[in-house]
């Protein structure tokens, strides 16, 4: 059957032509031929010029997710395996692969799917209708490619339970793919051991994107008193403890996360100096300030305060507030590690918000480092959605 064609309006598709991976519904002028949502279609410019092949879904605002810009491409099982091989080769060359993000959607030219490797377990998150149909083929290719390097996968768990699936006309789902297994998986990262709950943990179970940023705090935590806010399962707090901090407090609003963090502290023999408290960070920071508390290092790793452009203004207020409160707790000459994981909180806006917080706290900031997500979450230039994590380390000093 001849492939259906999606034709763009004149003057549209600027992001796609610049290297982006998406075509939005308001950029399309017409459809030619029959197709089911989720099928591969050909994308053409208004004048008939070939632009690529991609999955189409008329129920989604992202009408086409691009797969290839080469006219000779055949979208089949071999194509998917080649994409998987390229993704694995890149990880082997750039990062510790004992636990890593093995496939990162559009940035690995497999739009809408994420595959995380936690030791010998895979966790898959499928967020788009077209790629969902190829999920089984992709996972078989992953197992085949890893087996060639002597890596045996003992189980796969699916965490396709994000709300965004509803926008694709798909149901939310989580569960085993294949035989059940123990979903508490032990991993080792930066010399720190964790039990990752792939079934009930946030997202796919663990935030692998902060791997290198967690290592970056080691040099500033030795012999220090550290506060880790939004600690989740304790990753930054445990890295501070492993680096030789004298005393560490990790705070999170989730009791489940705190329970897991304490379990991770015991796993590393750090329960004597790494402590955890279940509390709302926005309420706790002013309380600590009133009590006259101070810290050598304050770490702020909040969840995304905005997941859309429409709520950016409120997100700015949240980021400004926690950074101001955090800075007020940093001793003169101490350090602030702060980040945003929201794609919509653009780097310039995040920097401006931190600068305003520093002015409110009457602190001068000396930048130690600026980082992004770990390289197993590659940033594909022109595909803006692939760049989301901004991470700073500052020395905070009083006015001189």
Report the half-sphere exposure of 107 (CA within 13 A, side-chain side): 23
* DSSP string of 47-116, one letter each residue: TS-EEEEEEE-TTSSEEEEEEES-TT---SHHHHHHHHHHHHHHHHHHS--SEEEEEEGGGGT-TTEEEE
Lookup result for tokens 């490619």: 145
Spot the catalytic one: 229, 278, 341, 375.
341
Q: How far apart are CA 278 and CA 261, in angstroms?
A: 11
Q: How far apart are CA 120 and CA 122, in angstroms?
A: 7
Sequence length of the chain is: 400
Q: How far apart are CA 288 and CA 382, in angstroms?
A: 43
* DSSP string of 312-327, one letter each residue: HHHHHHHHHHHHHHHH
E strand residue ranges, 285-380: 295-300, 330-340, 363-371
Neighbours of 312 (CB within 10 A): 15
81 strand-pairing partners: none
End-to-end CA distance of the chain: 74
Contacts 24+ apart (CB under 8 A), 17-21: 17/51, 18/382, 19/380, 19/381, 19/382, 19/383, 20/66, 20/382, 20/383, 20/384, 21/65, 21/66, 21/106, 21/109, 21/111, 21/380, 21/383
Q: How far apart are CA 50 and CA 36, in angstroms?
A: 21
Active site residue 341: yes
With CA atoms as reference, report the closest residue to 65 among 398, 338, 386, 390.
386
**Integer CA distances (angstroms), 69 to 17, 65, 140, 239, 327, in order:** 10, 12, 25, 43, 48
With CA atoms as reference, report the closest residue to 234 among 281, 266, 280.
266
Give the residue numbers annotated as catalytic, written as ranges. Answer: 341
């Amino acid at each position: 059957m001849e492939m259906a064609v999606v034709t763009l309006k004149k003057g549209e598709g600027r992001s796609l032509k610049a290297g982006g991976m998406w075509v939005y519904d308001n950029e399309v002028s017409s459809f030619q031929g029959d197709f089911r949502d989720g099928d591969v279609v050909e994308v053409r410019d208004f004048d008939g010029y070939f632009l690529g092949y991609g999955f189409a879904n008329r129920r989604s605002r992202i009408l086409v997710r691009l797969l290839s810009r080469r006219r000779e491409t055949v979208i089949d099982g071999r194509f998917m395996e080649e994409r998987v091989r390229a993704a694995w080769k890149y990880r082997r060359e750039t990062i510790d692969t004992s636990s890593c993000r093995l496939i990162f959607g559009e940035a690995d030219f497999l739009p809408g799917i994420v595959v995380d490797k936690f030791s010998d377990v895979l966790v898959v998150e499928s967020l788009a209708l077209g790629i969902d149909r190829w999920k089984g083929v992709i996972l078989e290719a992953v197992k085949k490619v890893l087996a060639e390097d002597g890596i045996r996968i003992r189980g796969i768990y699916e965490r396709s339970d994000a709300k965004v699936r509803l926008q694709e006309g798909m149901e939310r789902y989580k569960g085993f793919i294949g035989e059940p297994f123990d979903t508490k998986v032990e991993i080792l990262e930066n010399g720190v051991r964790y039990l990752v709950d792939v079934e009930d943990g946030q997202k796919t179970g663990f935030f692998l994107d902060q791997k290198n940023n967690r290592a970056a705090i080691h040099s500033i935590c030795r012999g220090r008193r550290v506060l880790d806010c939004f600690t989740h399962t304790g990753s930054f707090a445990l890295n501070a403890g492993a680096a030789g901090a004298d005393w560490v407090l990790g705070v999170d609003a989730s009791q489940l996360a705190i329970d897991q963090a304490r379990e991770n502290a015991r796993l590393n023999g750090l329960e004597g100096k790494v402590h955890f408290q279940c509390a709302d960070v926005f309420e706790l920071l002013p309380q600590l300030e009133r009590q006259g508390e101070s810290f050598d290092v304050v770490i702020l790793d909040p969840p995304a305060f905005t997941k859309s452009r429409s709520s950016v203004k409120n997100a700015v207020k949240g980021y400004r507030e926690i950074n101001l409160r955090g800075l007020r707790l940093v001793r003169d000459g101490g350090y602030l590690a702060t980040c945003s994981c929201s794609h919509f909180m653009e780097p310039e806006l995040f920097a401006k918000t931190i600068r305003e917080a520093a002015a409110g706290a009457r602190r001068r900031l000396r930048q130690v480092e600026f980082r992004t997500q770990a390289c197993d979450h590659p940033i594909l230039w022109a595909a803006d959605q692939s760049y989301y994590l901004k991470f700073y380390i500052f020395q905070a000093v009083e006015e001189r």
